[in-house]
Amino acid sequence: MESGPEVFAGAAFALFGAGLLLWTGFAVSTGQPVADGVRRPVGMVAALLFGAVFLATGCWLLVSL
């Protein structure tokens, strides 16, 4: 019962990180802007960095059960 919130948080972090990485890859490949009002390389790097961090955090939470 105590691991329920950890499973939920891990799944949420992992899904958000994977979604952010997929969306960033799609936006970059089609030439769409990654973030509004930000230069394209800066937005791309920031989105990839945060996507990787969220995905890694989610995986760490799920593995540490």
Report pLDDT for 4: 87
Q: In this structure, are residues 52 and 15 in contact, taking their beta carbons and an 8 Å threshold?
A: no
Report how far apart, in Å, the C-alpha atoms of 60 and of each of 7, 15, 20, 40, 48 are: 11, 13, 18, 30, 18
Q: Whole-angstrom distance between the N-terminal and C-terminal Cα of the chain? A: 12
Report pLDDT for 1: 55
The pLDDT tens digits of the residues spanning 6-53 come to 999 999 999 999 999 999 999 999 999 998 999 999 999 999 999 999
Tokens 């989610």 belong to 58
The residue that leads in pLDDT, 65 or 40, is: 40
Every domain of the chain and the residues it spans: 4-63
18 vs 37: CA distance, rounded Å: 24
Report pLDDT for 3: 82
